[in-house]
Amino acid sequence: GDGGSAALQSSPPKEKLIAFFSGPVKLDAQGKANVSFDIPQFNGTARVMAVAWSKTGVGHGVKDVVIRDPVVVTASLPRFLAPGDQTNLRLDIANTDAPAGDYQLAITTNKPVSVDQKGTGKITLAAGGKSDVTLALRGVEPGDGSISIRLSNASGMSLDQVLDIPVRPAAMPITQQRLVELKPGASVTVDANLLADSILPGASISVNVSRSTAFDIPALLMSLSRYPYGCAEQTTSRALPLLYLSQMAVQNGLADDTEIKKRVQDAIYRVLSYQSSAGSFGLWGPGGGDLWLDSYVSDFLSRAREQGYDVPEQALVQALDSLQNSLGFTNNIKDQGNEIAYALYVLARNRKAAISDLRYYADTMLNDFPTPLAKAHIAAALALYGDAQRSKNIFAASLQMSQDARIHRVSLSRSDYGSSLRDGAAVLALAAESRPVPPIVPALATIVAREWGQKKYTSTQEQTWMLLAARALQNGDDGLRLQVNGADHRGTLMSQMTGDALIGHPLTVKNNSADPLSASITTVAAPAQPLPAGGDGFQITRAYYSMDGEEANVSEAQQNQRYVAVIKITESNNWPSRIVVTDLLPAGFEIDNPSIVNSASLANFDWIEEVQAAHTEFRNDRFVAAFDRSAGDNREITLAYVVRAVTPGVYDHPAAQVEDMYRPQFSARTATGKMEVLAAQ
């Protein structure tokens, strides 16, 4: 509803929500009307509210109505599970209005979960009587688990209820890329053995066979679509390539065209929810102060409007006015040249930049711009105004700067979400979009391809601009001849599949061309075995305490006890960073109080410093916090939140993890383990 982010502060309801509105209803001559709704699976109290009016008066009525089955079945179970988790499903059965007698209880499950059938069968209920059944419940494999309950009697009464219980791995998914050289006549087979060390259900695989794997479109699309966080930059990064790659995404099995258009439109509305009244954008909510982010989101909105999407005019006008206002008092090219150049380019794309300003920067201050991308934004803006010669010269200067190895020494200290790979890919995309196309494209493509090959991890920024660059470089492989599972195939092979699809259905690709080819096979899957603690760039620890401040061992937690989870992070590097901390919960725990604990919250935790997180989420199965770190900040972070042990059972205890969102090679995690919630005595 209108609660905004408050929806993240609580767990999903166990009953389906009842909220219906009839609209105006005309009454009959007796002042009566019948209104009906299809009530979903629901046992509880609903409030019926009516407002009536006429030419002479207005009135209203309110009444609470109990909605329930003749026999009410209330289920107690965890809100999620991990594969291998063992717990109980308790069913409390209350005969409220049904006749006394014998009833048959039958339970069925789908593949992700299993329920021990001992205890099901005949149940005898007295009039107004109660009974309870406890059944062993186990998580089997990742997926949307469901438990179907049917209670029936000999007279034909049958009551059905469906319980939803998601099963998710106890570890975050890991992305791996494998490169296979395919000589003429050689073949490669992708089968379940590829993920022998991973969990197949829920995994994603992409295969790209071409002359060069530098621009691996299906892997890039897959990685972006699976990125778990939803700030303004990441939302924009996921949607921006889809403005142009709709047809390509359909060919790669990502989604149908209608779904892609809906995803882009939803992304537009989402980023607009981060816009302040002044027109600027915040990373996790309405805010401002980041000119590069303002330019990036405004660039996306401008391109989306060009492609026919619904972009509210007033919102875009406010965004562009904000860029113009920022440029009015920002002229420090050496320190803010990246932001200034991008803002000028976005304004030029909307015909709101002054050509005199662009020429002034090009002629007198070009060497002050700190990165190849900043120069390329000036060049692309001039091309939009038809100044082809200046644009060509500046693109050449951008290429020269990209070839300078010194740029690599400064990329990690930047605060504009960038890196030398992001810059190179973005320059390549801008150059390919410009008219006339500058002659730097082939040389720059070689540089970008080489750097891409050296990257083990990539950020959303790098993936997005690599996709936009690939859009301009998709010609030249039409003559490839392949054999895919025995069938002839012409051109580049780009395919995506799920881990389940590989079971019994391997993919075999043979190179029937005269030239050697490359196969890039990318997997995103959770590891089957627990990973040890470790990392690079960070150190992270997690400990649990009683509410009295004494350290507690939660390997055997007591049901109904509350614990304070304390996470400590030390960052090795001293540059500006945007980091995310994710703590997956074991299924036996629930977040008790949706707020970060600080020294003022609990008297026994005065050693916890005040936490100023840019964003927090208290999800059903995890705690998430994001921090914006400046170069001078303390490199240690301590944060805490309260959990409660709720459901007896034996569970995987996932690791707590920290990562630099825009330098993903820097991350760390605690160890994965096991824990048990002991039933209250």
**For residue 570, is pLDDT > 80?**
yes
Q: Give the Cα separation of 377 and 383 in Å (integer).
A: 10
pLDDT band at residue 476 using 50, 70 and 90 as cut-offs: low
Q: Which residue has the tokens 């200290």?
A: 413
CATH 2.60.40.10 fits 71-167, yes or no: yes
**For residue 296, is pLDDT > 60?**
yes
pLDDT of residue 249: 58
Mean pLDDT value of segment 130-137: 95
Q: Is 645 left (phi over 0), alpha (psi -120 to 50) or beta?
A: beta
The full set of domain ranges for the chain reads 4-67, 71-167, 173-211+476-525, 212-475, 534-678
| pLDDT tens-digit readout, 517-556 | 989 999 999 999 888 999 999 999 999 999 989 999 999 9
Fold of 534-678: Immunoglobulin-like (2.60.40)
Fold of 212-475: Glycosyltransferase (1.50.10)
Q: Which region among 69-73, 121-125, 468-472 has the lowest average model confidence (pLDDT)?
A: 468-472
Burial class (CB in 10 A: 0-12, 13-18, 19+), 159: middle
| DSSP character string of 109-167 | E-TTEEE--BTBEEEEE-TT-EEEEEEEEEE-SSEEEEEEEEEE-TTS-EEEEEEEEEE
CATH 1.25.40 fits 4-67, yes or no: no
| DSSP character string of 482-534 | EEETTEEEES-EEEEEEHHHHTT--EEEEE-SSS-EEEEEEEEE-BSSPPPSE
**For residue 646, is pLDDT > 80?**
yes
71-167 and 534-678 in the same fold? yes
CB 75 within 8 A of CB 90: yes
Give the up-direction half-sphere exposure of residue 181: CA atoms within 13 A in the CB hemisphere.
Answer: 3
Q: Give the Cα separation of 309 and 289 in Å (integer).
A: 27
Write out 159-176 in H/E/C secondary structure: EEEEEEEEECCCCCCEEE
- Cβ-based neighbours of 468, under 8 Å, separated by 6 or more: 240, 241, 244, 425, 426, 429
- Paired with 584 in beta bridges are 622
User: Which is nearest to 271 in space by CA: 311, 243, 305, 303?
Assistant: 311
CB 484 within 8 A of CB 159: no
**For residue 413, is pLDDT > 80?**
no
Q: What angle do CA 527, 571, 547 make, to 5 degrees?
A: 80
Q: Pick the residue with more confidence: 279 or 212?
A: 279
**For residue 362, is pLDDT > 90?**
yes
**For residue 398, is pLDDT > 80?**
yes
**For residue 410, is pLDDT > 60?**
no
Residue 374 CB coordination number (10 Å): 29
Instruction: Answer positive or negative: Cα dihedral of 236, 461, 616, 146.
Output: positive
- Paired with 653 in beta bridges are 673
The values of phi and psi at residue 515, to 5°, are -105, 150
Q: In what order do the strands lie in the sheet with 622-629?
A: 534-536, 667-669, 656-660, 577-584, 622-629, 615-618
| Residue 108 structure tokens | 């069925």
pLDDT band at residue 582 using 50, 70 and 90 as cut-offs: very high
Q: Which CATH architecture group holds 173-211+476-525? A: Sandwich (2.60)
| Residue 26 structure tokens | 């005309």
Q: Pick the residue with more confidence: 491 or 55?
A: 55
| DSSP letter (8 states) at residue 527 | B
pLDDT of residue 409: 46
pLDDT band at residue 3 using 50, 70 and 90 as cut-offs: very low
Q: Which region among 71-85, 278-292, 398-412, 600-614 has the lowest average model confidence (pLDDT)?
A: 398-412
What residue type is assigned to position 107 of the chain? Answer: I
| Residue 475 structure tokens | 């010609």
- Cβ-based neighbours of 659, under 8 Å, separated by 6 or more: 538, 579, 580, 582, 666, 667, 668
